[in-house]
A and B are shown apart, each in its own frame.
Chain A
Amino acid sequence: MVYEALDFYDVDSLLTEEERMVRDMVRDWVDEEVIPNIEIACRDGVFPDEWRVALGEMGVLGAPLKGYDCPGLSYTAYGVICRELERGDSGLRSFASVQGSLAMYPIWDFGSEEQKNYYLPKMASGEWIGCFGLTEPDYGSNPGDMITKAEDMGDHYLLNGAKMWITNGSIAELAVVWAKLDGVIRGFIVEKNDPGFSAPEMKGKHSLKASVTSELVFQDCKIPKDRMLPGVKGLRGPFSCLNNARFGISWGALGSAQACFDSAKDYAMSRIQFNHPIASYQLVQNKLSWMLREITKGQLLAYHLGQKKDAGTWIPEHISLAKMNNVDIALEIARVARDIHGANGILDEYPIMRHMANLESVKTYEGTHDIHNLIIGRHITGIQAFTREA
């Protein structure tokens, strides 16, 4: 079946020609290389290395970053890329989000000139994969209390601690790790072969199966002095990265939603029960019409946020709203699509169950749904509700 992207309000006509060309390039690649292979990748629990190569060749990694051989596209284009990738699979989009927004971006914004020149070109080309270590076993939603620490040993830093749930961890050449130096959060670049560093893969995921998730373990891990990111201190560092990744997710989730809608519509048109296509029954039409309604609203949200991001008139709360809303509706659309597919909905012949399971992770990472509620709640009331302590 041919994929016809739902775009009820013709929102894509607002994109620039360049953005549309990038969209078509990624969409064609996803159709030809990702969709035919995604189920096998999930079954094997691997991120196919060809996809790393192809993303590098297309030149979409670190999309909105300028200079240092980075693409230099708009944030809106970055959003479109995320959407097209996630139409294939959220694991694929996760790879690109982590590489671009969580690993390249902090080096690009907070790194030294030497660090930028050394790492960014190889990361933009896909040669080197990066990962982002913030979450710890005991500190998820409140990373500020992290335990991982760095000590200044005069001619080097010593890292101790552990990170968990780290996308791309075991396949990464380098990790951007957030750790406390004298009680202040700082960013460090840890390379794969640094002594005292290991990245064992976490197994047994029912979600994002085509994405690698790992622990990062630092046991007296020794890194040279020039690996600290000089440009940022405190939670602002990791949170700036998260803002960009969350922005991409707010677009990406729509890709999953559109894939589920597309499949549900086709299925409803062709599935005959009680002598008629199920699409001819009002209850099913209500479901499809609700999906279209939510996707269309989500598209307008994402597009407008893209414009604000490009114009520099955004605040983090804008991103929270879009991430929270678009992942939420995508997950619900996946569930309703599963219902429309009946028993077939649970098979890997259809993309539904995979998207649904993936979106459960997407709902949790990059700030859980409720953490974004709290961010918006604080914006409305001026009262923080994350913790009882002041």
Chain B
Amino acid sequence: MGVRTALKRGFDRVERPLDRLFGPDWNPMANLGTLSWLMFWIVTATGIYLFIFFDTGVVNAYQSVKWLSETHWLHAGLARSLHRYASDFLVLLMLVHMVREWAFDRYRGKRWFSWITGVPVIWFVYMSGITGYWLVWDELAQYVALTTTELLDALPFFAEPIARNFLTPASLSGRFFTLMVFLHIAIPLLLLLMMWIHIQRITAARTMPPRGLSVLTLAALVIVSFAMPAVLQGPADLARFPSTVGLDWFILGLYPVIDLVPPSVIWTGALLFTVLMFGLPWLPPRKDKAAAEVFLDFCNGCTRCEADCPYTAITMVPRSDGAPFPQEALVDPERCVACGICMGSCPSSTPFRRSGPLITGIDLPGRPLSKLREEVIAASADLAGPGRVMTLACEHGAAAAPEKGRVILPCVAMAPPSLFDFILSRDLADGVCIAGCAERECHNRVGAQWTKERIARTRDPLLRERVPRDRLLTLWAGPTEGARLDEALAGFSKDVAALEPMPGKRSLETDATGEEDPR
């Protein structure tokens, strides 16, 4: 097992108990990006509030922080603690989010964009935090100022060593402090811009956690802020040097390393880390399958595929073939990861068609609908006995390994609802199990959601009413839930075996004779 697979399974194991505590939809591990956004907004709101009380001059900064923390502990002190703890959470969430996206292999191939734009985000988050600690002008701030300026002075950019600003109480410069105040506003604004760019290749990216998760997170942060208000250390004094400081290990966790190794090593390390991070999507690259293709003869410009594609790979453009529709779908092959979700969303994707070759409006060249139809028919031949269950499986979930009677798809949402109808009504199986990946989060972002909504008949294309719901099982299970999958499949097989024979089903052979469907 490779490192990535091991890590991915590790995440799955850790996340399963959280599913029970939070519910899959509120699972924080499936909301790391959205929670990071929430933290950003908490930090922004409390930051603006703090500026009402904060004295931006170096002489009075410390006193103003002390005053707002003590005299106005109920609101301004709360804002300060929230400001700090939400920043810490932002760092933590960001790092876990990053490792998780790597483990889930969502950073390579056509999905490189979010990764590359995430790298500068790391820098901006840390720089925002460091400039923030500077402003308190307590002993920790002094330590940060000294260590940071000495590190920066090792670069050949600054004429005057900037550490000279912190030699003696007399050399302390108000101008320099004002610069820090400015940077502590400007850097987070740039961070916001980077965060916005970060999600530009994600269709309808979620930037807010589910309401309940937001509420419980904020409530927990408020309680923490009152129980353990943010610490204020002794006032900075340049006639002394703080040999011991209480460190914020999230934001300043690397400062001890800066103390211990030469600046050249730090800068080389930072440079190598950044280059490595930028290079990671190509070390090695992932070859995505051929991009989806539009067949205009079967496209009426209904926009469903555009709405369903998770990666903004489809746009609607003016009709090019003279057909009497205003628009047609256009796929950007640079963005298409070949998840097949668009194929499942196209109204032309129906395996029932009898005349002519089976072509749909939007199809995967590597795995066209016609091939999928054949695979389903072939899988049916492997099923025997009472309670034959065919599984349409997601290649990232518990049912990712080949098995008799199982068709594995890049995403379960690649299967149009008419395929379930086809399998049951043409007697290819007695039941269909749709085995997606873990419910908390779909590998292709929205595949699970679209599948549920299509079956519930709230999203086009709707599952036909005639499909007996007791012969459909949707099962969401992550890679480490093989046992639960097997158990559910065995139970489902027993259940469908006990059902009355399905009315109106007919064999494929009768289809071939051209008889009309009796219904």
Partners in one complex: no
